[in-house]
Structure 1
Amino acid sequence: MLFLQRHRSASLLPPVFSYEELDLSTNCFDPRRKIGDGGFGSVYLGQLIDNRIVAVKKLHKPPQTMARTNSEKAFCNEILILSSIEHQNLVKLHGYCSDSRGLLLVYDYVPNGTLADHLHGSKSLFRKGCSLKWLTRVDIALQTSLAIEYLHFEVKPAIVHRDITSSNIFVEKDMRIKLGDFGLSRLLNFSESSGSGFICTGPQGTPGYLDPDYHRSFRLTEKSDVYSFGVVLFELISGMRAVDLGRDKREVALADLVVSKIQGGCLHQVVDPVLIIEGEAMGTIHSMAELAFRCVAADKDDRPDAKEVVVELKRIKNRIKGHRGFNISGDTCKVAVRYRYHQELESLHLLQMILTPIGPGLPLKAPSVFILMKLRIGGSRLHGWTLGTHGGLGLEFSFIIVWTTVSQLKLVPFDRIAVQFIYLIDPFLTSLRRKSLSLN
């Protein structure tokens, strides 16, 4: 296209495919090969002549002239930007096709769906008894932040993605991620705005992720991406969608919901129940929530930049790695007891809890569930309050002793830990049940 050639030397543009070649690779854009839909087009699984497996995006052809112009602009924009950047956490553009029958973009095929799929959609494994582990979620957040840091600080001029969402974070089989969909991205060429640190442009993006400061002022900066990323962090923490019309009207936007819970000291009410099973995650969940809270600050000047976000996420990840295993400190003992419970409990209310020990003799602050556990560790018998949760049939649990007498405690192998009995006290059902457990 002439527009592309005016802005970039042909030698720097990605290869051009014929429409026939891409039509053949997708079996005539067979609906059964459709692997995704976006605001500007549909994505199909394709196999090129050289046997490469690729994702082919076919842009929609709106009937209105203005909408068609916007679609063509997004097409050219994505080619120009993706042909000038390279990062392990960004999708790679293999080529394009500009034809009267359709505008096509050819990308790496990322076979494991999107982050949205894993949290909310077809890849969500919650009801199958497992889900994304907390460390995996933190690592996905860190990889995404590294991609954003690259766009904001290593590319000149800087690039604002403008559409960072869980649906645009693509997941590899090994859980590495690639940030994609650059159709709305803008170069921050400050010559357009006399070096003022922003460019003026009409707000565009996905509802629920769109920076309200940008929406109000029409001033686009890197901090708009930081806001969107903060919403993604809230999704990772809560497992909830960025927008849900089924929620209360004041809580339709996830950012509004979680911010209100944080301000009210009730973060635990929106934490993804499957994360509670991991127990030790709660401390770093609070840290990530604080970071996300800063990212979605109403005033963009109060938000961290991408470099600060990367530093904080690295710190959180290191804390998780450093806190695994046996940990004894003063009068507080944390012993992770992992077992598999093969009976489904009756109350789903056990999914809610707080992991906040506040000192000897008073182990919990406003708990929603108490669990009294008697343990035999080695030759010593210990009594203490524990708290935990369940997620249904066949799930792996993790309970933590948050208060106990540790004077006789010695470090022993985990295979010598035996759970003698557990009482589950469900305040919602006001019932007391005794369950037998066995270690793996």
Structure 2
Amino acid sequence: MRSRRKIPEEALKELSYQVVCALCYLHRERSPHLIHRNLKPTNVLLSRDGTVKLGDFGHAKELNDAAGVGHSFLGGADESGRCYLSPERVMAVGHSFNTDVWSLGVVLYEAATGTHPYVGRSSPSSEPGTCAFSVMERIVDEDPPQLPTEFSDDFRFFVSSCLTKAAEDRPNSSDLLNYPFLSKIHSSHDTLSERTLKWPSLASLLTDSLQGEGEAAFGPSSPMDTV
């Protein structure tokens, strides 16, 4: 994973809202319910009109019960995706829908700061292939860093809540809609297209700011399974 440029918090708010809405659909509305289990920057796809989609459901797991638990470990993520595993998945003690919330927290921390919360502070090279097992150890053993104070209290609280290490204390995707960071968007009656018009450069802003070498981070959507 390479260090990437930061993007403004207002753009991250819209990005966060759309990803959370997608997770709510997967976790609560879809039947059977689905855990994505491989949420990472390259699986957050951006359309030209600013619509955010989740892609690559090859590691997803269906659960009939909204409180269901999955147990697979490395079978549920590719090598790069392991840097986004929740602590409970690393320890293989069972995981549920809010494992995706942890992954979202890591993605947002990386998008906001340009560095992975665990790789960035201890592995300056941050090259692909260097993270997997050493980062998974840190995910279990170390608390995630807090976002810098340059960000709003609402955003810092939102990300730190996503990165709650104890799964039983971590919010679910539906809980996140009521957090102060997203509540104003969620309570408004604006459609997606109306909100996107307020940030006409959202698509280009995200793509330009987080374009990595090789596989694109938050890149244009491609013909794969998406939601």
Q: Distance in 1 between matches of 2:7 and 2:108?
A: 14
For the pair 1:198 / 2:65, whether they are aligned, the reply is no
Q: Distance in 2 between matches of 1:212 and 1:175?
A: 32
Shift in alpha-carbon separation, 1:247–1:310, aligned structure 2, 3 A: farther
| Corresponding residue SS for 1:144 | helix
| Corresponding residue SS for 2:58 | coil
**1:144 and 1:179 in contact (8 A); partners too:** yes
**1:213 and 1:300 in contact (8 A); partners too:** yes
Q: What letter matches 1:314 in structure 2?
A: L
How many angstroms does 1:239 deviate by? 2.3
Which residue does 1:293 correspond to in 2? 160
Q: Distance in 1 between matches of 2:169 and 2:103?
A: 15
Q: How does 1:362-373 map to 2 (within 5 A)?
A: none
Q: Residue 314 of structure 1 is aligned with which of 178, 182, 193?
A: 182
Q: How does 1:260-279 map to 2 (within 5 A)?
A: 260-261=145-146, 267-268=148-149
Which residue does 2:194 correspond to in 1? none
Q: What letter matches 2:182 in structure 1?
A: K
For the pair 1:132 / 2:132, whether they are aligned, the reply is no
For the pair 1:246 / 2:124, whether they are aligned, the reply is yes
For the pair 1:141 / 2:16, whether they are aligned, the reply is yes
**1:211 and 1:227 in contact (8 A); partners too:** yes
**2:39 and 2:100 in contact (8 A); partners too:** yes
Q: Distance in 1 between matches of 2:146 and 2:8?
A: 23
| Corresponding residue SS for 1:178 | strand
Q: What letter matches 1:179 in structure 2?
A: L
Q: How does 1:288-437 map to 2 (within 5 A)?
A: 288-312=155-179, 313-315=181-183, 317=185
**2:146 and 2:156 in contact (8 A); partners too:** no
Q: Distance in 2 between matches of 1:164 and 1:297?
A: 17
Q: Distance in 1 between matches of 2:143 and 2:125?
A: 12
Which residue does 1:184 correspond to in 2? 59
Which residue does 2:99 correspond to in 1? 224
Q: What letter matches 2:165 in structure 1?
A: A
**1:136 and 1:175 in contact (8 A); partners too:** no
Unaligned 5+ residue runs, structure 2?
Answer: 187-227
Q: Distance in 1 between matches of 2:67 and 2:8?
A: 42
Per-residue displacement from partner, 1:58-87 (whole Å, max 9, x unpaired)? xxxxxxxxxxxxxxxxxxxxxxxxxxxxxx
**1:287 and 1:316 in contact (8 A); partners too:** no
Structure number having the greater strand percentage: 1
Q: Distance in 2 between matches of 1:305 and 1:156?
A: 17
Per-residue displacement from partner, 1:379-426 (whole Å, max 9, x unpaired)? xxxxxxxxxxxxxxxxxxxxxxxxxxxxxxxxxxxxxxxxxxxxxxxx
How many angstroms does 1:257 deviate by? 8.4
How many angstroms does 1:261 deviate by? 4.0
Structure number having the greater helix percentage: 2
Q: What letter matches 1:315 in structure 2?
A: S
| Corresponding residue SS for 1:207 | helix
Q: How does 1:154-193 map to 2 (within 5 A)?
A: 154-189=29-64
**2:71 and 2:93 in contact (8 A); partners too:** yes
Q: Which of 1 and 2 has higher RCO (CA within 8 Å, sep 6+)?
A: 2
Shift in alpha-carbon separation, 1:296–1:132, aligned structure 2, 3 A: closer
Per-residue displacement from partner, 1:319-355 (whole Å, max 9, x unpaired)? xxxxxxxxxxxxxxxxxxxxxxxxxxxxxxxxxxxxx
How many angstroms does 1:229 deviate by? 0.9
Over the aligned positions, Cα root-mean-square deviation in angstroms equals 3.5
For the pair 1:150 / 2:25, whether they are aligned, the reply is yes
**1:246 and 1:252 in contact (8 A); partners too:** no
What TM-score comes out, normalization by structure 1 length?
Answer: 0.34
Q: What letter matches 2:29 in structure 1?
A: E
| Corresponding residue SS for 1:259 | coil
Q: Distance in 2 between matches of 1:166 and 1:296?
A: 16
Q: Distance in 1 between matches of 2:142 and 2:112?
A: 13
How many angstroms does 1:140 deviate by? 0.7
Q: What letter matches 1:311 in structure 2?
A: N
Shift in alpha-carbon separation, 1:150–1:222, aligned structure 2, 3 A: same
What TM-score comes out, normalization by structure 2 length?
Answer: 0.63
| Corresponding residue SS for 2:177 | helix
Which residue does 1:111 correspond to in 2? none
Percent identity between the two aligned chains: 23
How many angstroms does 1:184 deviate by? 0.2
**2:72 and 2:92 in contact (8 A); partners too:** no
Tell me how many residue pairs correspond in the alignment.
Answer: 171
Q: What letter matches 1:161 in structure 2?
A: H
Q: Distance in 1 between matches of 2:88 and 2:145?
A: 18
